Structures are given as C-alpha cells and as structure tokens.
Amino acid sequence: PPAAENTLVSGSKLHRMSETNRITVGILCGGGPAPGFNGVIGAATLFALDRGWRVLGFLEGFKYLMQGRSDPAIYKDLQLEDVTRIHVVGGTIIHTSRANPTKNPEHVANCVRALRELGVNHLITIGGDDTAHSSMTVAAASGNIHVCHVPKTIDNDLPLPGSVPTFGFRTAQAKGHKVMRALMKDAKATQNRFYIVVAMGRAAGHLALGMGMSSGAHLTLIPEEWGDRPILFSEIADIVETTILKRIAQGRPNGVIVLAEGLVERMPVEEIERVFAFGGQDIPRDEHGHIRLDEIELGMQVREEMKRRFKGRERMSFIHKNVGYELRCADPIPFDVEYTRTLGYGAIKFLESGGTNSLICVVGNRLSPIPYDQLVDPVTHRTATRIVDIDSMQFRVAQEFMIRINDHDLTLGSPLLARMAEVAKMEPQAFIDRYTSAIHPFSHWDFNGQ
C-alpha cells in the first residue's frame, strides 16, 4: 500500500510528506538550566512542524539515549499545543541533565543506535561546552546525523564572536542585580552588616562582575584578576578584610561583597583540601570532571575567616549567600525571549540547508553558524573559554567604583590610614606592612588604559 501521508496546515501553507521520507529532528538540553531554554525549544518546534518535520524532545538530555533506550517514555513527540507560549516561561519542558556519553564509547554507540531506531536525521542540542562536545562526538560516530548546537550558559563563558552573549546571561544578570540591590538595602538598614555573596561562574567572572557592577556592590572579585597565577584563600580574605575596614573607616559599616565561585577552581588542589577541610577525601566532581562548586562553601569559609579576624574589633555581622540557582529558571527578560526564538529558528534553518557540526549564533543581527572545530582548543580538544578582559573599559569602570585600598590609603599621615589602623587595632606602620599586598592592582590606570 502507498505510504501514509502527513498533512500539516499552518496559515496558508500546506505541507505533505510521506511518513517514510519524513524528517525527524531531536531536541535535547544539557547541563544546568538557563533562562530561555523553552524559547529555543518552542521556536525550533514550531518552525520544524511548519515544514512537516517530526520533533522529538528527549527527556533529561543524553541520560536515556546513552542507555540505548528508544521507547516512548524517554521523549515527547512535540506538537503545537506542547510549545505554545512557552517562550516566556523559565525552565525547560523536556528537562535537562549533566549526563555525559563521551566517557564511555559504548554510551556513544548507544546514543547513535537509539537515534537511528527513532529515525532521527537531525539533532539540536542546547547547552554549554560539555553538551556541545557530547553532541559533536555522537554526530561523528553516527556518520549521518546532522547536529546544530545552541550555546547557553548564564556564565557567558563560551567564545562567541565579539561581545555576543550566551543566552540566559542577560536574564541572570538582571535577576541577580535585583537580589544584590535588596541585600544592599538590607545591609544599610540594619548597619554593621556585610553580605558575602558567591555568584555562579565556574571558569569566568562575567556574571559576578555584571551583578556587582550593575548593582554598585562594594567589591567584586573574579579569577581573571589573578592572571595565570594560582589563587590563595588568604589573598581573597585580605582583600575582603581591607574593603570592610575601609568601609568602616569611612563611616559606612555595611556593604555587599561579590565573589565569583570560579575563584575556587583556580586554587591549587592542596589549598582546596586545606581550606575546605576535605581531610584526604576526594574533592567532589560532576560527570564531566568539574569540581562541584556548590559543595564547596566559599562564602561560608570567607564569612568564618572574617568573624575570626574581626574578633575583638568593632562588632560586625557577616552573612554569606550563594546566588545562582534562583537565576537559572527565571522567566527570561525580553532580550533573551527574542534572542532564543531567533536561535531556535536559526537552528532549524541551518539544518534544513544541510549544515552540521556547528554552533548557531546571532552576530550583527544575522544568523551566523560557527563550525565547532573553530571553537575547540587544539591542546585540550575542548571548547575554549571566554574570560573577562581585564583590560576592557567595562572592567576598569567596575574597578574604579569598588571600595579597595590603594597606595594613597596607605600613606603615613593619612587620616583614613589612621582610622583603618584604629579599627584593625594596629599601628599605622604595622597596618601598611600587613596589607600592602592587598593594594588595588589597577589603581594606576590612566584614561588611556596605561
């Protein structure tokens, strides 16, 4: 008998395609959530359905595919009613996970077999660098499944062209800004209180800097400030302490301090084990080998160190707070709503044209696929990281409005030095000797960036 026909009516368009030749596109999410997941899923699904394609939304990323499963329980056969109006809603209707098939060749083979059994011709993956690596590995093993990756991360650390952000970053920054402003009001209202906030950002300090700069936080520390040097906990503590001492000496005994969680990633392993008291136990890591930063309490440890250092000085309250999880599934702001709908549309358009093995981006208001190979570090064979440019105007402006000690503050005879030394219960010269290493390293910039 003749093959059954699928008929899809969309406005004035009528598409007919035999089931035997019907294109099937799979969509999956990987890594931590980011505002805008649903925008990509919705736009890609609607545009694909409009072309007569079948759309399968795989639940929890690669989790079940790498088990070789292809039963209906592992996917949603996405229809119009599933994705209508989801572009303004946070989270993801198909869930996400950190499942990593690349750790075991058998898992990669299972993914390929399951996708073939379901007739998947194209695959759209939405995630960060680990998900991109997994999708390209599966595509290479299949030989004929075309893959398009949509880059997301609230960390904004994927090397997209120029200043193009990853989707979700602007929403996370905006929501984080509101949290920071509320904490600043609370600290000022209660007095003698400092909040120590740890912001997500494993490899780069974009989110911490964006939240801190936009809200007017009194100090923001990101790993890029140390260059290639390892970071010691004592260095972080010294900078935090001197910011607090300076605020108190200025008659403002309150504040908010932002630390990028990635500061821990840059500490030597022995430093992490010593400071966070793992006592010979393995440092917790996820499926991709990354340190589980949510299990390492940087903020709490800094708080305890400040309590120890301020014992016997003016009475201060130190409160630590992690900011990140409440940002990941926030409803996207208009920027990310528009951005993700364009990316979802662009992913289908790219696959329809025969493209594969690329990330889809928007550059200069135009869709711009970037071959994955161009983004891979030749040494690590993983996606390169976009870090904060500490020579940029943004970073320099942010630094200018932070409260940090500088050369002028540590000049003998300075009233501010005398007051800081008094608060610290030290002699001025002893204060200079103790805290010179915490001097603001960017205090000598001139207007031309020198």
Pairing between β-strand 5-10 and β-strand 13-18 as defined by DSSP bridges = antiparallel
pLDDT at position 7 is 33
Q: Cβ(347)–Cβ(368) under 8 Å?
A: no
What stretches in the chain show pLDDT beneath 50?
Answer: 1-18, 444, 446-450
Tens-digit pLDDT profile for residues 372-419: 988 887 777 677 889 999 999 999 999 999 999 999 999 999 999 999
Q: Cβ(250)–Cβ(414) under 8 Å?
A: no
CB atoms inside a 10 Å sphere around CB 237: 18
Closest CA to 261 of 282, 229, 227, 290: 290
Token output for 411 = 């000049």
pLDDT at position 286 is 67
Q: Using CA atoms, how far apart are residues 343 and 149, in angstroms rounded to an integer? A: 10
Determine the straight-line distance between the first and last CA of the chain, rounded to whole angstroms. 78
pTM: 0.88
Catalytic residues: 155
pLDDT at position 120 is 97
pLDDT at position 166 is 93
Helices (H), 51-128: 80-83, 105-117
422 burial level (CB within 10 Å; 0-12, 13-18, 19+): middle
